[in-house]
Amino acid sequence: MRQGVEKDKFEERYSRQILFRGIGAEGQRRLAAGRVAIVGCGATGSAVASLLARAGVGTLRIIDRDYVEASNLQRQSLFEEKDAAESLPKAIAAARKISAFNAEIVVEARVEDVVPRNIEALLEGIDVILDGTDNFETRYLVNDYALKVSRPWIYAAAVGSYGVTLNVVPGKTACLACIFPDSPRGMVETCETSGILNTAVNLIASVAATEAMKLLLGGAALGKLRETLWSFDVWANKHVEIAAGKPRVGCRACGERDFVHLTGEGRPHITMCGRNSVQIHERARPIDFAEMQRRLETLGVVRHNEFVLKFWHEPYEMTLFPDGRAIIKGTTDAGVARSLYARYVGS
């Protein structure tokens, strides 16, 4: 009896989607059983997560290393002013927001940077991986991992008025490295983007989320998957498509299976992070925020919650995470950042 009531509720909630011929009642159940990871929850990640959550994808794992800032609110649709005021991690803020409009799905928030050391653990048990990152380093890493374990992933990016996306189905289509053997120049964005229209974001998120649903549905829906690198400029109204249905012969990643990004060769320990910040990729230094607050209080303004500690010491602003990772604003010099970190956190 109870089962029957639950079933009615489910079918009522998703009735407009079940009516759509490409999905139906069986398709809706497949979406409910689906497990999607969203790597990076900025603008594109927010939009994709929101769409898939409302569509009833049963498990979403949202992975993001960053915290919400006021400048995100123009385009990052899962966040509110109070999230920025509290400097909440994006993954946590996104999970809270989603639970307010769909409490029936599972959202797993992971406040982490996806790196070679943790990618297997972070993406374990996932059916489809969606790209919400802003950098090619992580995308190549995801590409290598997806090819290695034969899991589909969807590249999606938006810059300015332009969005671009590609489905990568290992063993079938081209991969990211087939099309871009190296990072495309002029498209590499850092944590702070240089300018973007929220409409371009939502467009590309809609296209990518639909393709993700086809992958989860399987069967006839797979025949509807796009096999091109697709881009659209909402300002210029220009549309470009490049064939990507077949792997490129001799591709380093999908052809030779040489997963250089997965082995982490040449990965920097300190990276530039936007126009005026440096990130220290420390991960093995558990931080006691209460203790750190006491230590720093006499030196400047400090505040923390359970996820993040912020410390202002003119002209610098340091954001510290529980695993020891830090973002230092006010410098682009790795040496200065290293010494500030050593001074305030430890060396």
User: What does the binding site for Zn ion look like in residue numbers (CB under 5 A)?
Assistant: 175, 177-178, 251, 253-254
Q: Residue 39 or 254: which CB sits closer to Zn ion?
A: 254
User: How far apart, in whole angstroms, are the C-alpha atoms of residue 110 and residue 63?
Assistant: 5
User: How far apart, in whole angstroms, are the C-alpha atoms of residue 318 and residue 309?
Assistant: 8
Query: Residue 58 corresponds to which tokens in the numbers above?
Result: 């049963």
Q: How far is the CB of 151 from Zn ion (least distance, A)?
A: 15
Whole-angstrom CA distances from 127 to 110, 185, 221 are: 17, 31, 15
Q: How far is the CB of 119 from Zn ion (least distance, A)?
A: 18
Q: Residue 48 or 175: which CB sits closer to Zn ion?
A: 175
Q: Residue 138 or 279: which CB sits closer to Zn ion?
A: 138
What is the residue whose two structure tokens read 């109870």?
Answer: 2
User: How far apart, in whole angstroms, are the C-alpha atoms of residue 185 and residue 169?
Assistant: 25
The number of C-alpha atoms within 13 Å of 51 and in the hemisphere containing its C-beta is 23
Q: Please say whether the beta carbons of 325 and 65 come within 8 A.
A: yes
Q: How far is the CB of 168 from Zn ion (least distance, A)?
A: 8
User: How far apart, in whole angstroms, are the C-alpha atoms of residue 40 and residue 138?
Assistant: 9
Q: Residue 14 or 140: which CB sits closer to Zn ion?
A: 140
Q: Residue 178 or 216: which CB sits closer to Zn ion?
A: 178
Q: How far is the CB of 175 from Zn ion (least distance, A)?
A: 3
Q: Residue 55 or 175: which CB sits closer to Zn ion?
A: 175
Q: How far is the CB of 263 from Zn ion (least distance, A)?
A: 17
User: How far apart, in whole angstroms, are the C-alpha atoms of residue 330 and residue 327?
Assistant: 10
Helices 24-33 and 2-13, axial angle in degrees (round to 10): 100
* Cα-trace Rg, the chain: 21
Which one-letter amino acid corresponds to residue 224? K
Q: How far is the CB of 255 from Zn ion (least distance, A)?
A: 6
Q: How far is the CB of 286 from Zn ion (least distance, A)?
A: 39
Whole-angstrom CA distances from 313 to 23, 66, 332, 335 are: 55, 21, 16, 17
Q: Residue 157 or 175: which CB sits closer to Zn ion?
A: 175
Q: Residue 138 or 210: which CB sits closer to Zn ion?
A: 138
Give the DSSP per-residue string, 38-61: EE--SHHHHHHHHHHHHHT-SEEE
Q: How far is the CB of 253 from Zn ion (least distance, A)?
A: 5
